[in-house]
Amino acid sequence: MKKNDCVPLPNDILVAKDGSYLKEVFICSEYKECAILSSIAIFRPNNNIIVPEILLYLLKQPSIKKDVGDNYVSGSALPRIVLKDFKKYTFILPPMVEQIKISTILHEITRKIQVNTDEIKVLSSLRDYLLPKLISGEISVSKMLVALNYCLSDYLIQFYHRLKIKFAQFLPVSLHSQEYQPLNHLYHFCLLNQKQCHFLY
């Protein structure tokens, strides 16, 4: 059984209000046909006043958490946010135009963090799969290095072209020659130019 006011909508902010209050704060990204527990509060932002992402990051600030803990939390064994009092909490907000600019930057940062997190999970799974085979000798390390060097060649060639350098003589004569060793060249190039080149990412 579910109540309409217990079902989060897109852009609602969900907050853990019991126990480790404000430890878990996240934004609802899509509609879900399920009710949430009473230990989770739903904050529904007024989009004419505040951008949801701004409210999300405000609630995550350590200073906000301390202020809430000092003034809007009751109970010692199981501290919880008193919502009827917390409704009176006020924030200092920038103009809506500035909020939109800030939220755009925050959204891109969050997206990149998620991409990196996903890549770490994939690489961790690959490590867990390959490590036992490397230890047992089932897979040759030398063959793996050759394969890795081949796979990274195109990426490193592109990486070279994204460097703004002052001393071009350290570059290989031909980036596409058969003798081109991208891992070795990139390593030595960075050592030689660590004080003379500017990396563009």
pLDDT at 164 over 60: no
In order of 40, 72, 155, 167, the CA distances from 58 in angstroms are 17, 16, 38, 46
- Please tell me the predicted confidence (pLDDT) of residue 67: 83
Say which DSSP state 12 is in: P
Percent of the chain clearing pLDDT 90 (strictly above)? 3
Cβ atoms of residues 9 and 28 within 8 Å: yes
Model pTM score: 0.55
Which carries the bigger pLDDT value, residue 51 or residue 17? 51
Report the range out of 40-49, 75-84, 97-106, 188-197 with the highest average pLDDT: 97-106
Q: Residue 187 corresponds to which tokens in the numbers above?
A: 């390593």
What's the rounded Cα separation, in Å, for the pair 18 and 78? Answer: 7
Q: Which of 29, 28, 30 is nearest to 43 (CA)?
A: 28
Please provide the CATH number assigned to the domain covering 4-93: 3.90.220.20
Q: Residue 154 corresponds to which tokens in the numbers above?
A: 């195109």
Which carries the bigger pLDDT value, residue 64 or residue 72? 64
Side-chain half-sphere exposure of 132, counting CA atoms within 13 A? 3
What's the rounded Cα separation, in Å, for the pair 195 and 187? Answer: 14
User: Could you give the angle at the alpha carbon of 129 between the alpha carbons of 127 and 135, nearest 5°?
Assistant: 85
Q: Residue 83 corresponds to which tokens in the numbers above?
A: 């919502």
Collect all residues with Cβ–Cβ distance below 8 Å to 174 and sequence separation of at least 6: 180
